Structure 1
C-alpha cells in the first residue's frame, strides 16, 4: 500500500478557511465551481478539478502545498497532489 510523507508536514490543526463562502478565485472572477477543496497548509479554498477553472490544482502548482481536504459538508477525505493519493 502506498503512503504519503506529505501529511507529516501538515500543521496539527487544519487552518481556518481564508474564504469560507466559496472558491477565492471564482468569487473574484464571477465564475462557478462544482466542489470545493481546502488547502491544509494555508487555508486557501479552491474549486475541484471537475470545476471549469480548477483553482485548487492551480494553487498547488503555484504554491507547492501538497495536501487538500474536501470542503464539502459531510466529507472529510484528504488528497495529496504530489503522490496522487487519498490520504
Structure 2
C-alpha cells in the first residue's frame, strides 16, 4: 500500500526539453537514463549510470523529488521517503498524482 509523500507540494519544475545529463556533458561522461529534479529543474543521470548525478544532486541539495524523463516513463521518486510517489501526466502540466505508487 502506498503512503502519502509529504514532499509533493515542493514540486515546481515538472517538464523539461533537456535530453542530456548536465554534469556528464561538462565532464565528458556518459549516462544510461535521465532524471529531472522537480524542485530546481536540474537534469541528471540515474543510478545505473557511472556517475549517478541525480542521486548526487539530492545528497548535495536535499531536493527530494526526481522524475524519469525517459520517453514513455512518467514516475516520480522521493529520495526522502525512498519510494515511488506518483506520476507526471505527459499530456498536462499538472503536478504529481498523490498516492499513486506503482509496484
Q: TM-score, normalised by structure 1?
A: 0.89
Higher helix proportion: 1
RMSD: 1.4
TM-score for both structures, normalised by structure 2: 0.76
Q: Which runs of 4+ in 1 moved over 6 A?
A: none
After superposition, the C-alpha distances for 1:12-35 in whole angstroms (9 at most, x for unaligned) are x52545xx1300100001111010
After the TM superposition, which residues 3-18 of structure 1 pair with which residues of structure 2 at under 5 Å, given as runs?
3-11=4-12, 14=14, 16=16
**Unaligned runs of at least 5 residues, structure 2:** 86-103
Larger radius of gyration: 2
Contact 1:15 1:42 in 2 (8 A): no
Partners of 1:84 and 1:55 lie apart in 2 by 17
